[in-house]
């Protein structure tokens, strides 16, 4: 099924996963996933996406290389104008429909402590190609994705780790300002706001 998608097995891809909330609104968040034959594998910390999939095993994987869509997704700032009908993001190139079939809970030990991670295996039931955007790499987008991953872990960081993240973020900001397009700049503004909000809580 993945041949015409050009997806490699055993390679982690950053994607957007859309699940349905109890009130039928959409929850779209970034996750790193692996593909194996006709399955996708998710490793989820305790979060709303996990809760939603436990309630309803059908979910959507949206492939996108748009940095602002990833930023807005992580920060809970996607609104109706970002979606077409049926929860499809306007800035997505491929949609994969999936159905969770297996759940394994693993205790993950890292510097932030012991955390249960749920490994979900889901069967890909359908693939829809929406447009032919080229599979290219953009370093500014990569910088933003790295900042977002760290930002999603801020709640587990101590003061020292947060200060070191802020320094790293400052270096990335210089690169983004020099190289970025409007979506990169809009992402940077949202990321800066989020760092400032967290800074006030330390
Ligand atoms: C690029 C990227 C990849 C991520 N991958 C994962 C992942 O594999 N597993 C996970 O639990 N969280 C991952 N996160 C963090 C979640 O997106 C984040 O915790 C989010 O707030 C979860 O939202 P929810 O509670 O609505 O599900 C990732 C974040 C980013 C930016």
pLDDT tens per residue, range 112-134 = 678 899 999 999 999 999 988 88
State residue 133's pLDDT score.
83
Q: Which of 11, 20, 29 to mutate to test the pocket of ligand 1 (most atoms within 8 A of CB)?
A: 29
Contact predicate 51/100, CB 8 Å: no
- Does the pLDDT at position 193 exceed 90? yes
Q: Which of 20, 47, 157 to mutate to test the pocket of ligand 1 (most atoms within 8 A of CB)?
A: 47
Per-residue pLDDT of 15-71, as tens digits, reads 999 999 999 899 999 999 999 989 999 999 999 999 999 999 999 999 999 999 999
Please give the sequence-ordered ranges of beta strands (E in DSSP) within 130-158, or none if there are none.
Answer: none
Expressed in angstroms and rounded, the spacing between residue 43 Cα and the centre of ligand 1 is 9
- The CB of 74 under 6 Å from ligand 1? The reply is yes
The more confident residue out of 108 and 178 is: 178
- Exposed (0-12), middle (13-18) or buried (19+): which is 75, by Cβ within 10 Å? middle
Helix axes 139-151, 67-74, angle to 10 degrees: 10
Per-residue pLDDT of 154-183, as tens digits, reads 998 999 999 999 999 999 999 999 999 999
State residue 110's pLDDT score.
80
State residue 2's pLDDT score.
59
The closest residue, in CA terms, to atom 3 on ligand 1 is 31
- The CB of 47 under 6 Å from ligand 1? The reply is yes
User: Which atom of ligand 1 is found nearest the CA of 14?
Assistant: 1
- DSSP annotation of 119 reads E
Query: What are the angstrom distances between the C-alpha of 139 and each of 142, 145, 178?
Result: 5, 10, 12
């Amino acid at each position: 099924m993945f041949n015409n998608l050009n997806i490699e097995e055993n390679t982690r891809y950053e994607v957007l996963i859309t699940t349905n909330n109890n009130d039928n609104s959409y929850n779209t968040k970034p996750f790193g996933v692996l593909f194996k034959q006709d399955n996708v594998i998710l490793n989820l910390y305790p979060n709303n996406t996990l809760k939603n999939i436990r309630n309803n095993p059908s979910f959507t994987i949206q492939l996108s290389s748009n940095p602002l869509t990833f930023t807005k997704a992580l920060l809970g700032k996607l609104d109706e104008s970002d979606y077409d009908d049926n929860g499809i993001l306007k800035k997505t190139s491929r949609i994969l429909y999936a159905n969770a079939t297996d759940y394994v809970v693993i205790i993950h030990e890292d510097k932030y402590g012991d955390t249960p991670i749920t490994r979900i295996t889901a069967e890909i039931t359908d693939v829809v190609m929406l447009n032919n955007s080229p599979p290219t790499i953009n370093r500014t987008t990569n910088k933003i994705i790295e900042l977002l991953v760290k930002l999603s872990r801020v709640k587990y960081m101590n003061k020292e780790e947060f200060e070191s993240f802020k320094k790293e973020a400052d270096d990335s900001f210089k690169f983004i300002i020099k190289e970025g397009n409007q979506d990169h700049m809009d992402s940077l503004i949202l990321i800066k706001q989020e760092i400032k909000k967290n800074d006030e809580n330390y």
